Amino acid sequence: MSKVDRRIAKSQVAIKKAVTELMSEKSFDDITIQDIADRADVNRGTIYLHYSDKYDLLDKMIEEHIDNLRELCQSASEMTFQEGNYVWYEYFEHNYLFFSTMLASKGAPYFRSRFLDLVVSEFKPEVDITGGKNKGLKEEVILQFFGSAVVGAVEWWFKNGMPLSAHVMAEQTGALLDRNLE
């Protein structure tokens, strides 16, 4: 894998941060490439060097975070729900501005949908409909129910300014999942 020039990496970080900050202030539709360039302190050409337009930039940001969450799931595959959730909630906490903006923004419903799809796909191997509490229930209903619960809990946490620590959120949501997916 080739090493990325530090200047390029710094520019991309500044551009992504600028978009996130701007989205927390106004609708994505109202943000221009010039707004992003001004906030990131780069030329418009620098943005176009890496992204075809603001939609491509947003798509790449979303995919980067979804991929990071997927990797966290894979690395946490041997953990309990609480432990795995803690890894996620720490990531959410570290990337608060991005996630809170994306989940609150009317201009980015695609993110919520991608996030829900990720949660559902990660729960799928955990759902057992052959016995126990879930016997006789439809797998898709179970997956949508718990996926929506996880996404909703994360939305609530951000909307309320993270009133509980990442550890407490992970502990409590993990306990609920453990209790209901067995």
Residue with tokens 């106004």: 26
Q: How many domains does the chain have?
A: 2
* Same domain assignment for residues 6 and 40: yes
* Same domain assignment for residues 89 and 166: yes
CB atoms within 10 A of CB 182: 10
pTM of full prediction above 0.75: yes
Residue with tokens 């970080």: 13
The token duo for 154 is 């994360």
* Same domain assignment for residues 47 and 64: no
pLDDT-derived band at 164 (thresholds 50, 70, 90) equals: very high
CB atoms within 10 A of CB 91: 16
- Minimal CA–CA distance to 86: which of 146, 160, 175, 180? 175
* Same domain assignment for residues 107 and 158: yes
What local confidence, expressed as pLDDT, does residue 136 receive? 86
What local confidence, expressed as pLDDT, does residue 85 receive? 83
What DSSP element (H or E) covers 118? helix 109-123
- Minimal CA–CA distance to 129: which of 149, 146, 114? 146
* Same domain assignment for residues 88 and 173: yes
Q: How far is the C-alpha of 167 from the C-alpha of 179, rounded, in Å?
A: 18
The token duo for 155 is 């939305």
For residue 3, the enclosing domain spans: 1-51
Q: Does pLDDT of 131 surpass 70?
A: yes
* Same domain assignment for residues 1 and 86: no
Q: How far is the C-alpha of 91 from the C-alpha of 85, rounded, in Å?
A: 10
In tens, the pLDDT along 96-107 reads 999 988 888 765
pLDDT-derived band at 15 (thresholds 50, 70, 90) equals: very high
**Which of 30-39, 85-94, 172-181 is the most confident on average?**
30-39
- Higher confidence at residue 9 or residue 115? 115
What is the mean predicted confidence (pLDDT) over 142-166? 93
Whichever domain contains 38, its CATH number is 1.10.10.60
Q: Does pLDDT of 171 surpass 60?
A: yes
* Same domain assignment for residues 16 and 33: yes
Q: Does pLDDT of 95 surpass 60?
A: yes
Q: How far is the C-alpha of 69 from the C-alpha of 78, rounded, in Å?
A: 16
* Same domain assignment for residues 168 and 85: yes
Q: How far is the C-alpha of 85 from the C-alpha of 141, rounded, in Å?
A: 22
* Same domain assignment for residues 32 and 91: no
Q: Does pLDDT of 1 surpass 60?
A: no
What local confidence, expressed as pLDDT, does residue 55 receive? 93
